[in-house]
Amino acid sequence: MDPLLEQWQKDYKNATPKLDTAALLSQITSARKKQSIKAWFDLVAGTFVSLFCIYALIFEATSTPEQVLYAILTPLPIGFSIWAFLKRKKLIKSNILDVNALLLFKKQQLINQINYWRLNLIGCSILWAALCITAAVSVLMYNHSTIWLIQLGIGTLVLILTLTRYLYLKYHLKGKLNYIDNLE
């Protein structure tokens, strides 16, 4: 046999990660299914939240500032949902040709996840701030305190959960990326 070919085969085997590709491919397939379900759920949830904002704009807003606030907030949930849907669908449709592509898919999935939760945190923070402003105006000017305090409490809980999830993922991201790098 040709010594150059033997050296090339040896180098190729040394450069190829030694891992269970069938298990990794199974994980990727499962992740794709989950991402697809999450993508559709996000899209539907964003649509419902935007529809609720339209409902609140038409039927619940009692002042011009509330109407303006609901009008500004209406496109945000559906816009974010469409963005998340397209990102997830792009990741799902990516082609996987070899082990390195599988590992790259896993890396991209982690990076997309942290970006998703960062934008989710920013969006929740903006919505929470808008809710605080609306609640303050409603309580101070119109004496509608009970419903706004309940909504503010729920909004605060959602913001805390989103922040916790983002910080958890951010804390573990580097370790997970290093683990994938060590497999290569």
pLDDT > 90? residue 80: no
Find the mean pLDDT for residues 87-103. Answer: 72
- Element holding 101 (H helix, E strand): helix 99-142
What pLDDT is attached to residue 18? 63
Find the mean pLDDT for residues 110-123. Answer: 90
pLDDT > 80? residue 55: yes
What pLDDT is attached to residue 125? 93
**Top-confidence residue, 41 or 6:** 41
Instruction: Give the DSSP letter string of 137-179.
Output: HHHHHH--HHHHHHHHHHHHHHHHHHHHHHHHHHHHHHHHHHH
Percent of the chain with pLDDT over 90: 16
pLDDT > 90? residue 142: no
Percent of the chain with pLDDT over 70: 89
pLDDT > 80? residue 173: yes
pLDDT > 70? residue 37: yes
Name 88's Cβ contacts closer than 8 Å, sequence gap at least 6: 35, 36, 38, 39, 42, 112
**Top-confidence residue, 125 or 141:** 125
**Top-confidence residue, 15 or 121:** 121
Q: How confident is the model at residue 46 (pLDDT cuts 50, 70, 90)?
A: confident
Burial class (CB in 10 A: 0-12, 13-18, 19+), 6: exposed
Report for 39-53, 95-109, 163-177: range of highest mean pLDDT: 163-177
CB 160 within 8 A of CB 124: no
pLDDT > 70? residue 53: yes
Amino acid sitting at position 98? D
CB 134 within 8 A of CB 73: no
CB 76 within 8 A of CB 54: no
What is the pTM (predicted TM-score) of this model? 0.63
Q: For the chain, how are helix, strand and coil distributed in percent, rounded to 5?
A: 90, 0, 10
